[in-house]
A and B are shown apart, each in its own frame.
Chain A
Amino acid sequence: MYKIVKKRELNPTVTLMEVDAPFVARKAEPGQFIILRVDEEGERIPLTVADFDRKKGTVTIIFQIVGGTTERLNHLNEGDFIQDFVGPLGEPSHTEGLKKVAVVGGGVGCAIAYPVAKKLHEQGAQVHSVVGFRNKDLVILEEEFSAVSDVFKMMTDDGSYGEKGLVTDALKALIEAGNEYDEVIAIGPVVMMKFVSLLTKQYGIKTVVSMNPIMIDGTGMCGCCRLTVAGKTRFACVDGPDFDGHEVDYDEILKRASTYKEFEAKEREKACNLFKKEVR
Chain B
Amino acid sequence: MPNMSLKKNPMPAQEPDVRNKNFYEVTFGYTAETAIDEAKRCLNCKNKPCMGGCPVRIHIPEFIQKVAEGEFEEAYHIIQQTSSLPAVCGRVCPQETQCEQKCVRGIKGEPVAIGRLERFVADWHNANSCDLPVKAEPNGHKAAVIGSGPAGLTCAGDLAKRGYDVTVFEALHLAGGVLVYGIPEFRLPKAIVQKEIDNLKALGVKIETNMVIGRVLSIDELMDEYGFETVFIGSGAGLPRFMNIPGENLKSVYSANEFLTRVNLMKAYKEDSRTPVLHAKKVCVVGGGNVAMDAARSAKRLGAEEVTIVYRRSRAELPARAEEVEHAEEEGIVFKFLTNPTAIVEGENGMVAGMTCVEMELGEPDASGRRRPVVKEGSEFNIECDAVIMALGTSPNPLIKNTTKGLETQKWGGIIADEHGQTSREGVFAGGDAVTGAATVILAMGAGKAAAEAMDEYVKNKAAR
Q: Are B238 and A256 in contact (CB under 8 A)?
A: no
B123 CB, nearest partner CB in chain A, Å? 26
B344 CB, nearest partner CB in chain A, Å? 13
Q: Are B171 and A224 in contact (CB under 8 A)?
A: no
Q: Mark B261-294, 1 if CB is under 8 A from A, else 0.
A: 1100010000011111010000000000000000
Interface residues on B, range: 35 or more
Contacts of A26 in B (CB 8 A): 216
Contacts of A44 in B (CB 8 A): 173, 266, 275
Give the residue name and chain of the A residue nearest to B248 (CB).
A233
Contact of B255 among A68, A222, A227, A238 (CB under 8 A): A222
Q: Are B211 and A222 in contact (CB under 8 A)?
A: no
Q: Of A81-89, A134-142, A187-195, which stretch is located at the interface?
A: A81-89
A85 CB, nearest partner CB in chain B, Å? 7
Contact of B275 among A43, A89, A228, A238 (CB under 8 A): A43
Let me know if B22 is at the binding interface, CB within 8 A.
Answer: no
Q: Tally the A-B contacts, defined by beta carbons under 8 Å.
A: 107
Q: Which of B420-460 contact A (CB under 8 A)?
A: none
Contact of A256 among B172, B249, B257, B266 (CB under 8 A): B249
Let me know if A41 is at the binding interface, CB within 8 A.
Answer: yes
Contacts of A27 in B (CB 8 A): 215-216
Contacts of A75 in B (CB 8 A): none
A81 CB, nearest partner CB in chain B, Å? 13
Q: Are A43 and B266 in contact (CB under 8 A)?
A: yes
Give the residue name and chain of the B residue nearest to A34 (CB).
B210
CA–CA, A69 to B275, complex, Å?
10
Q: Are B274 and A221 in contact (CB under 8 A)?
A: no
Q: Are A258 and B251 in contact (CB under 8 A)?
A: yes
Q: Are B239 and A221 in contact (CB under 8 A)?
A: yes
Let me know if A198 is at the binding interface, CB within 8 A.
Answer: no
Q: Of A106-114, A153-161, A166-174, A260-268, which stretch is located at the interface?
A: A260-268
The interface on chain A, measured as residues whose beta carbon lies within 8 A of the other chain's beta carbons, has a size of 40
Q: Are A222 and B209 in contact (CB under 8 A)?
A: no
Contacts of B242 in A (CB 8 A): 223, 226, 233
Q: Which of A211-239 contact B (CB under 8 A)?
A: 216-217, 219-224, 226-228, 233, 238
Q: Mark B394-418, 1 if CB is under 8 A from A, else 0.
A: 1001010000000000000000000
CA–CA, A43 to B274, complex, Å?
6
10 A-B pairs within 8 Å (CB atoms) are namely: A23-B211, A37-B173, A68-B274, A84-B210, A89-B215, A221-B261, A223-B258, A238-B397, A258-B251, A259-B252
- The 6 A-B pairs at the shortest CB distance, nearest first, are namely A255-B350, A221-B238, A222-B258, A86-B210, A263-B276, A260-B276
A-binding residues in B (CB < 8 A): 171-173, 209-212, 215-217, 238-240, 242, 244, 248-252, 254-255, 257-258, 261-262, 266, 272-276, 278, 349-350, 394, 397, 399
Q: Besides the contacts A43-B274, A223-B258, what 9 more A-B pairs have beta carbons closer than 8 Å?
A: A42-B274, A84-B209, A86-B211, A216-B258, A217-B172, A228-B249, A238-B399, A259-B252, A263-B276
